[in-house]
Amino acid sequence: MENKKIKILKGGEFLVTESQATDIFIPEEFDEEQKMISDTCQGFLEKEVLPILDRIDNMEPGLMRSLVAKSGELGLLGISVPEEYGGFGQSFVTSMLASDIIGAGYSFAVAYSAHTGIGTLPILYYGTEEQKQKYLPKLSSGEYAGAYCLTEPNAGSDANSGKTKATLSEDGKYYILNGQKMWITNGGFAEVLTVFAKIDNDKILSAFIVERNFPGISFNPEEKKMGIKGSSTVQIFFNDCKVPVENLLGKRGEGFRIALGILHIGRIKLGANVLGAGRRAIMHSVNYANERKQFGTFISNFGAIKYKLAEQVIRQFAAEAAVYRTSKYVDDTINMHIANGMEKIKAYLEAISEYAMEAAVLKVFGSEVLDYIVDEALQIHGGMGFSAEMPTDKAYRDSRINRIFEGTNEINRLVATDMFLKYAKRADSEIFNIAKSIYKEIDGQKKTSTSISDFFGKKHFYIKNLKNAVILILGKAYETVGKQFNTEQEIMMNICDMAIQLYVAESVILRVEKLQGFKSAEETSVYKDICDVFVYEAASQIYKSGMDAVNSFAAGEEFAKLQKGLRYLTSVEPVNIKEARRRIAGKLIEDNNYKF
């Protein structure tokens, strides 16, 4: 049987292109090898991590380092590393799945993610062959642990403003590093550090591979943190630290590009990482709701609790749909580049760069979904949830860092909108022309969804309109604000919030539509409920964010016309969301676990 050619959307193209369910990947499609890796990750958490969470949070000396080593012995550190460097060379989707499952490991998940991501990937993607041969096998096995040293006291979101300096020694054999790094995850035990510094009077960073035992490097005690207490976080000082010249990573002045490339990977991986934590918090929520009695009945029987349980499920399901849809786009793009003759490492970097906008979207949406889930988990537990004896305490505190990690959510919203704008300005883009056409036709808009009887046909009609709503507001905002657009951060974030809701809503529709091939009509009904509720809510939020933007730049006749256009483009038919949520909660309550 001839395989259907899959259409691969380019980064940002979801805004103007109609996607088909057959073209995307959903979690229900994991193959046997991927399920085996997932089971290995889950087994490691259940055996090695979850039984000793208090010991981990108490920073028992050597404990976290030993867990990193143990995960390396199982091959969990080398999933993304090619076989020639001691890894398994798995697909991007598989590496995201591992990040997803390990995400339920609280502080260990942070150490694992830092090691396998920002601790290892700079060397894999930017290192020389000699550097790869020297460091990657030991990073893959867990003999070495990795860390990433970018942030400084006065260089956070503005990473390139760092003051750490590197000068060449008189004999030309070493770079001499002087400076300070802070908030360095795994810094308390990592043997290999990727350090960013400016050579001489360069304005752009360079990157260096620094070993823990190099002379001139010192480490502060562990930071005391609100959450992720078991993860190692330290300040690091470089005082005439001697780094061999062969440990320059990439070319001189390439450090900022390396940092951005790795951050794109970190953002998309964090979008997966929060999924595991979300599932675990939902499990604790429903377990408690099915055990706790008030007024003579289990609290899971109350509508107010069902609302919370259902909304946890809806947002978790939506985040999964968006994450794995995007992950497969990355894989398909990598394979396309390789088939066209591109070297594998370059193909990977090109693919990650292509989906930088989507990576920012997933990071923002996923971290905020997890914050919602853990907050409601605590609320479901009531007073008990506020006790440090309950798992909700740890989940609540640990979640909060995700909105700061890998660039704050504010920075990521601005990054995503800036990329959206650059996409619109491309020579082959028609976005601004489309925006003008939509604006011109607002008074003549008549077609509604009432004439569409098919469930998914109706949903795709909504999505087409919602895309037009985002394009309309971007086009009119940029037309009005012009060159000052990047200083109007509130408007930029409004537009990003519209795009986030759009991308995730479409991902949910496509996942549920594709699920019909895996489940019976009866089984699919509850997923259609998820789809109904999420799209209904997304349309409302897109209207709200759109009007917030319009209120900021439009007036008079233009304001009235844009308001009218947004009302039409975000209009969806009424949904009995109370009953839909009750059915979703009913499945969760019956299963007593997240099995969606």
What is the residue extent of each domain of the chain?
Answer: 148-252, 256-410
Q: For residue 385, what is the DSSP state?
A: G
What is the number of other CB atoms lying within 10 angstroms of the CB of residue 153?
Answer: 12
Residue 443's pLDDT is: 84
Residues known to be catalytic: 406
Closest CA to 249 of 299, 218, 295, 209: 209
pLDDT value of residue 5: 63
Cα-based torsion angle of the residue sequence 409, 410, 411, 414 in order, rounded to the nearest 10 degrees: 120
- E strands, 220-308, in order: 233-244, 248-249, 293-294, 297-298
Could you say which residues of the chain have pLDDT below 70? 1-6, 449
Backbone angle region of 179, left / alpha / beta, with phi > 0 → left and psi within -120 to 50 → alpha = left
The pLDDT of residue 1 is 36
Task: Calculate the alpha carbon distances from 571 to 83, 99, 118, 311, 533 in Å.
Answer: 52, 37, 43, 22, 14
What pLDDT sits at residue 3? 47
Q: How far apart are CA 31 and CA 47, in angstroms?
A: 24
Whether 481 contacts 488, CB under 8 Å: yes
CATH topology agreement for domains 148-252 and 256-410: no
Give the type of residue at 427.
A
Backbone angles phi, psi at 106, to 5 degrees: 50, -125
Looking at residue 427, what is its pLDDT? 72
Residue 546's H or E segment, with its range, is helix 521-553
CATH topology of domain 148-252: Butyryl-CoA Dehydrogenase, subunit A; domain 2 (2.40.110)
- H-run or E-run covering 276: helix 255-289
pLDDT the model gives residue 99: 97
Tell me which DSSP letter residue 18 carries. Answer: -
Looking at domain 256-410, its CATH architecture is: Up-down Bundle (1.20)
